[in-house]
């Protein structure tokens, strides 16, 4: 029971400080899940992210549920899924009820500008961490470069990237085997 | 009965929206056309609030849309319905993964997926850097190279980057610190 409560608390904290889309959760997961608690390795975090963004649903919720399920089966899954969602519920309901105009205040905008910069640093850090644990040889660097180039030129769904990466991995491993 | 349709619609979104972030947006436009819960114009407000408050955007938007349709119970119903399909998908996927975990094909697939996903996040990072540190529009307007950087933001970026490498510490600490600095220095 204590561990279920801890799962809920950890993901509650993550849900409360994520700003923006799915990938903004990565630096928090790397710190809270991989580094501090060893509930998953950095590599597993990347794998979970890949799975979560290629399946239906909210990326961050999917990732949390995956990690929760791995820890403590269905109770862990529920604790993680609810933990990461409840902050949104509380914050948005309060914002919708009381704070709508508050968000447009100049001073609040300045604070958000600062937050944007911090998030930019955190994402760069996350990419460096992912590079260290996920890109290990020339083939990896090639897949990285090609994917980045494609993303810079055309707008395609990230789900295709995962499929293409998987196919490339299978082809490369087969040739080198 | 607004709650029954809310639950049904958001279960549907939970099953069909793939890709996170604003992937639920087209579905919400559809809801705006189909019901009188909110308009397409209010949706823009919802995006602004969802992006500038803590929490994953997709969840924030669902809570907001549900609230607009049916008050506080509506917000709770929409959010819980949105995450319910994930519950079943995750259990299914973990069962399949565990069965094939030692499979060579699955291992090589993940070997290729990791660099691809890293590139995906890198491209997102570049976009965030552009928004946070550069004023592209001003530069296009004035053609003056000294207008292209947000100097205060660049300085803050360098400071945070240095501190986080040197001291480590929890991301929350830096997010809160940056908010205070942004407020104090009028960034």
Q: Which of A90-104, A107-121, A126-140 has the lowest mean pLDDT?
A: A90-104
Q: What is the pLDDT of residue A54?
A: 84
Same domain for B50 and B88: yes
User: pLDDT tier at A123 (50, 70, 90 boundaries)?
Assistant: confident
Question: Is the pLDDT assigned to residue A158 strictly greater than 90?
Answer: no
Name the residue among B20, B60, B125 with its Cβ closest to that of A22.
B20
Q: What is the pLDDT of residue B4?
A: 96
Q: Which of A93-102, B146-155, B167-176 has the lowest mean pLDDT?
A: A93-102
Q: Please tell me if residue A50 touches chain B, with a CB cutoff of 8 Å.
A: yes
Same domain for B79 and B25: yes
Quick one: angle between helices A2-17 and B171-184, nearest 10? 30
Q: What is the pLDDT of residue A159?
A: 74
Report the SS3 class of residue B24.
coil
Q: Please tell me if residue A116 touches chain B, with a CB cutoff of 8 Å.
A: yes
Q: Which of A99-103, B44-48, B79-83, B152-156 has the lowest mean pLDDT?
A: A99-103
Same domain for B168 and B140: yes
Question: Is the pLDDT assigned to residue B41 strictly greater than 70?
Answer: yes
Give the DSSP per-residue string, B161-184: HHHHHHH---HHHHHHHHHHHHHH
Question: Is the pLDDT assigned to residue A102 strictly greater than 80?
Answer: no
Same domain for B116 and B154: yes
Question: Is the pLDDT assigned to residue A117 strictly greater than 70?
Answer: yes
* Cα(A42)–Cα(A60) distance, integer angstroms: 16
Q: Please tell me if residue A134 touches chain B, with a CB cutoff of 8 Å.
A: yes
State the average pLDDT over residues A128-148. Answer: 91
State the average pLDDT over residues A67-81. Answer: 96
Same domain for B79 and B16: yes
The DSSP code for B115 is H
* Cα(B106)–Cα(B113) distance, integer angstroms: 10
User: pLDDT tier at A177 (50, 70, 90 boundaries)?
Assistant: low
Contacts of B58 in chain A (CB under 8 A): 22, 58-61
Task: Kindly report the number of other CB atoms within 10 A of residue A160's CB atom.
Answer: 12
Per-residue pLDDT reduced to its tens digit, B85-96? 999 999 999 999
Contacts of A15 in chain B (CB under 8 A): 54-56, 59
Q: What is the pLDDT of residue B175?
A: 87
Q: Please tell me if residue A7 touches chain B, with a CB cutoff of 8 Å.
A: no
Same domain for B69 and B155: no
Asked which of B69, B99, B129 is the last residue of a domain, the reply is B99
Question: Is the pLDDT assigned to residue B164 strictly greater than 70?
Answer: yes
Contacts of B24 in chain A (CB under 8 A): 58
Residue with tokens 């990347």: A46
Instruction: Give the distance from residue A72's alpha carbon to the nearest chain B alpha carbon, in angstroms.
Output: 12
pLDDT over 90 for what percent of chain A? 59
Instruction: Give the distance from residue B40's alpha carbon to the nearest chain A alpha carbon, in angstroms.
Output: 17
H helical segments located in chain B:
2-16, 25-34, 40-52, 57-99, 104-133, 136-142, 151-167, 171-184
Asked which of B73, B99, B125 is the last residue of a domain, the reply is B99
Asked which of B99, B131, B146 is the last residue of a domain, the reply is B99
H helical segments located in A18-137:
26-28, 42-54, 59-94, 106-134
Q: What is the pLDDT of residue B45?
A: 76
Residue of A nearest to B111 (CA): A169
Q: Please tell me if residue A4 touches chain B, with a CB cutoff of 8 Å.
A: no
Question: Is the pLDDT assigned to residue A80 strictly greater than 70?
Answer: yes
Question: Is the pLDDT assigned to residue B38 strictly greater than 80?
Answer: yes
Per-residue pLDDT reduced to its tens digit, A15-59? 998 887 778 899 999 999 999 999 999 999 999 999 998 888 999
Same domain for B128 and B82: no
Q: What is the pLDDT of residue B25?
A: 82
Q: Which long-range contacts (CB under 8 A, 24 or more apart) does A37-40 make?
A: A37/A10, A39/A67, A39/A70, A39/A71, A40/A67, A40/A70
In chain B, the number of structural domains is 2
Give the range of the structural domain holding residue B152, as residue numbers without chain letter: 104-184
User: pLDDT tier at A111 (50, 70, 90 boundaries)?
Assistant: confident
Instruction: Give the distance from residue A7's alpha carbon to the nearest chain B alpha carbon, in angstroms.
Output: 16
Query: What burial letters (b/e) apply to A56-87, b meaning 16+ CB within 10 Å?
Result: bbbbbbbbbbbbbbbbbeebbbbbbbbbbbbb
User: pLDDT tier at B171 (50, 70, 90 boundaries)?
Assistant: confident
Quick check: A162 and B101 in contact, CB under 8 A? no
Same domain for B91 and B8: yes
Please report which helix (H) or strand (E) contains residue A19, including its range.
strand A19-20
Q: Among residues A177, A176, A150, A152, which one has the least CA distance to residue A163?
A: A150
Residue with tokens 């809270």: A32
User: pLDDT tier at A104 (50, 70, 90 boundaries)?
Assistant: confident
Chain centre distance of CA B9: 21
A115 and B182 in contact by Cβ < 8 A? yes
Q: What is the pLDDT of residue B125?
A: 86
Same domain for B18 and B51: yes
Q: Please tell me if residue A114 touches chain B, with a CB cutoff of 8 Å.
A: yes
Same domain for B176 and B116: yes
Contacts of A124 in chain B (CB under 8 A): 125, 129, 161
Name the residue among B85, B172, B178 with its Cβ closest to that of A57.
B85
Same domain for B87 and B10: yes
Same domain for B95 and B6: yes
**Helix and strand element counts for chain A (H, E):** 7, 1
User: pLDDT tier at B20 (50, 70, 90 boundaries)?
Assistant: low
Contacts of B93 in chain A (CB under 8 A): 51, 55, 66
pLDDT over 70 for what percent of chain A? 97
Instruction: Give the distance from residue A30's alpha carbon to the nearest chain B alpha carbon, in angstroms.
Output: 10
- What ipTM was predicted for this assembly? 0.84
Average pLDDT, chain B: 88
Residue of B nearest to A161 (CA): B116
Residue A22's Cβ-count burial label (10 Å; 0-12, 13-18, 19+) is buried
Residue with tokens 């938007």: B61
Residue B182's Cβ-count burial label (10 Å; 0-12, 13-18, 19+) is buried
């Amino acid at each position: 029971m204590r561990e279920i409560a801890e799962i809920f608390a950890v993901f509650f904290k993550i849900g409360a400080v994520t700003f923006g889309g799915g990938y903004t959760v990565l630096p928090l997961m790397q710190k809270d899940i991989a580094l501090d608690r060893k509930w998953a390795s950095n590599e597993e975090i990347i794998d979970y992210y890949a799975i979560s963004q290629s399946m239906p649903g909210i990326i961050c919720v999917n990732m949390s549920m995956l990690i929760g399920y791995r820890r403590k089966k269905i109770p862990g899954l529920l604790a993680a899924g609810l933990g990461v969602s409840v902050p949104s519920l509380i914050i948005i309901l309060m914002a919708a009820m009381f704070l709508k105009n508050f968000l447009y205040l100049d001073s609040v905008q300045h604070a958000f500008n600062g937050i944007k910069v911090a998030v930019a640093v955190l994402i760069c850090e996350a990419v460096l961490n992912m590079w260290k644990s996920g890109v290990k040889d020339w083939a990896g660097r090639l897949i990285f470069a090609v994917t980045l180039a494609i993303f810079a030129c055309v707008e395609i769904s990230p789900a295709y990237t995962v499929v293409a990466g998987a196919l490339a991995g299978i082809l490369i491993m087969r040739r080198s085997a | 009965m607004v709650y029954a349709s809310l639950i049904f619609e958001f279960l549907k979104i939970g099953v069909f929206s793939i890709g996170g972030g604003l992937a639920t947006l087209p579905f919400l436009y559809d809801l705006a056309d189909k019901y009188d819960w909110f308009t397409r114009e209010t949706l823009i407000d919802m995006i602004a609030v969802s992006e500038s408050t803590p929490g994953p955007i997709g969840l924030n938007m669902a809570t907001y849309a549900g609230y607009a349709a049916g008050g506080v119970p509506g917000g709770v119903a929409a959010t819980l319905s949105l995450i319910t399909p994930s519950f079943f998908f995750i259990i299914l996927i973990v069962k399949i993964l565990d069965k094939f975990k030692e499979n060579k094909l699955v291992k090589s697939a993940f070997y290729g997926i990791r660099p691809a996903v890293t590139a995906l996040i890198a491209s997102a990072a570049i976009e965030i850097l552009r928004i946070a540190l550069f004023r592209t529009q001003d530069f296009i307007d004035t053609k003056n190279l000294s207008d292209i950087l947000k100097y205060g933001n660049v300085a803050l970026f360098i400071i945070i980057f240095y501190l986080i490498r040197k001291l480590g510490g929890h991301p929350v600490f830096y997010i809160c610190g940056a908010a205070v600095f942004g407020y104090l220095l009028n960034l």
